[in-house]
Amino acid sequence: MSTPNRKTALITGATGGIGRSLVKVFHDAGYDVVATDITEKPSDLRCTGYQKVDLARYAQDETYATEINDVLLYILKRRLDVLINNAAIQILGGADTLTRHDWHTTLEVNLLAPFLLTQAFLPQVSAAKGSVINIGSIHARLTKKNFVAYATSKAALAGMTRALAVDLGPRVRINAIEPAAIETDMLKMGFEGKADLYAQLGSSHPQQRIGQPIEVARLALAIASGDIEFLHGACISLDGGIGARLFDPT
Ligand SMILES: NC(=O)c1ccc[n+]([C@@H]2O[C@H](COP(=O)([O-])OP(=O)(O)OC[C@H]3O[C@@H](n4cnc5c(N)ncnc54)[C@H](O)[C@@H]3O)[C@@H](O)[C@H]2O)c1
């Protein structure tokens, strides 16, 4: 049950690597956390409420989205301080292999659902003078082979973050966090069968390591706190310096 006067956070992709850290950090900071994911609620996820949501369907099917919004509003007791659009899907493939369905799913989960959720909960976040935080990616700016669908979705998410910042003005603060390699299943999936390359990944970051999910969550908590109210429309790199590095074999 939620507690009156406590701040409330709604977090998507809550059972994933970064999602779990977001839930824990916001819960530990005293937020009522309502978590969502496409999976069933894991028994060890400590949150005030949980709702299973398929964000691809949420983006496609207006009736389903309305039902989900109603359920979430009920669980949230019609209050929301922070919406964290964290869920994403990473379908790897290039121009030879990516299907129409791959593109639709990628853009629905990674881009359209964050917009529609922001739109759906605007009255509540606005009333709370709250904040939307989109979890983007370094792939919004710097990418590699076979990431075209994912990279395009994250570049568009960055564009959407900036455009909504202009659109929403002072009503709601909106920002994005753009991590590089963070130690989660999503990252490991991209390195399946490439253990040696995964090992090299850490050392290719100027900080000589991969990032941890809790670092993303702590940055989100700082953004949500409102202590830095002027932070609005920003896409903040959290990349151990790799985005500053020139790869040059000479
Ligand atoms: N791990 C990294 O290295 C890294 C780097 C940069 C950005 N990110 C971003 O961080 C966020 C979290 O990623 P993660 O690393 O924790 O990955 P993850 O795969 O562990 O988590 C993603 C979550 O999104 C959920 N999801 C996928 N499709 C969904 C759907 N249709 N409906 C509802 N939920 C759905 C998954 O079930 C999963 O729990 C993502 O936005 C990702 O793009 C991750």
**4 band by pLDDT with thresholds 50, 70 and 90:** low
Average pLDDT over residues 199-226: 95
Cα(4) to centroid(ligand 1), Å: 30
What per-residue confidence (pLDDT) applies to 1?
A: 58
CA distance linking residue 72 with residue 75, whole number of Å: 5
Average pLDDT over residues 23-39: 98
Cα(16) to centroid(ligand 1), Å: 6
Cα(139) to centroid(ligand 1), Å: 14
Tell me which residue has its CA closest to atom 2 in ligand 1: 182
**15 band by pLDDT with thresholds 50, 70 and 90:** very high
Ligand 1 is surrounded, with C-beta below 6 A, by 13, 15-19, 37-39, 53-56, 86-89, 109, 135, 137, 179, 181-182, 184-187
Ligand 1 atom with the shortest distance to the CA of 179? 6
Which residue in 85, 92, 235, 197 sits closest to 151, CA to CA?
92
Cα(106) to centroid(ligand 1), Å: 11
Tell me which residue has its CA closest to atom 23 in ligand 1: 13
Query: End-to-end distance of the chain based on CA atoms, in angstroms?
Result: 59
Tell me which residue has its CA closest to atom 4 in ligand 1: 182
Ligand 1 pocket test: pick from 11, 186, 239, 242 the residue with the most ligand atoms within 8 Å of its Cβ.
186
184 sits in the region (left: phi over 0; alpha: psi -120 to 50; else beta) called beta
* Phi, psi values for residue 159, rounded to 5°: -60, -40
Instruction: For Cα atoms 55, 214, 151, give the angle at the middle one, nearest 5 degrees.
Output: 45
Residue 9, C-beta contacts closer than 8 angstroms, at least 6 positions apart: 22, 26, 31, 32, 33, 34, 80, 81, 82, 83, 84, 224
What per-residue confidence (pLDDT) applies to 2?
A: 57
Cα(109) to centroid(ligand 1), Å: 10
Instruction: For Cα atoms 191, 192, 193, give the angle at the middle one, nearest 5 degrees.
Output: 110
Ligand 1 atom with the shortest distance to the CA of 54? 32
| Domains of the chain and any CATH numbers | 8-239 (3.40.50.720)
What per-residue confidence (pLDDT) applies to 37?
A: 98
Given a contact cutoff of 8 angstroms between Cβ atoms, the answer to whether 53 and 12 are in contact is yes
Average pLDDT over residues 142-157: 98
Cα(13) to centroid(ligand 1), Å: 6
pLDDT digits (tens, 9 = 90+) for 177-194: 999 999 998 788 878 899
The distance of Cα 2 from the centroid of its chain, to the nearest Å, equals 23
Q: Which pair of tokens denotes residue 113? A: 């659902």
Average pLDDT over residues 169-180: 97
| Mean pLDDT of the residues in the chain | 96
What per-residue confidence (pLDDT) applies to 188?
A: 85
Cα(98) to centroid(ligand 1), Å: 19
Average pLDDT over residues 75-95: 97
The distance of Cα 70 from the centroid of its chain, to the nearest Å, equals 22
What per-residue confidence (pLDDT) applies to 190?
A: 76
As a whole-number percent, the residues of the chain with pLDDT over 90 amount to: 91
Ligand 1 pocket test: pick from 37, 177, 219 the residue with the most ligand atoms within 8 Å of its Cβ.
37
pLDDT digits (tens, 9 = 90+) for 47-64: 999 999 999 999 999 999
CA distance linking residue 135 with residue 213, whole number of Å: 12
Cα(204) to centroid(ligand 1), Å: 23
What per-residue confidence (pLDDT) applies to 5?
A: 77
Please report, for residues 106, 132, 148, 157, 208, the alpha-carbon distance to residue 151 in angstroms, rounded to integers and kept in the order given.
Answer: 10, 21, 5, 10, 24
pLDDT at 3 over 70: no
pLDDT at 94 over 70: yes
pTM of the model: 0.97
What per-residue confidence (pLDDT) applies to 189?
A: 80
pLDDT at 22 over 60: yes
Ligand 1 atom with the shortest distance to the CA of 20? 16
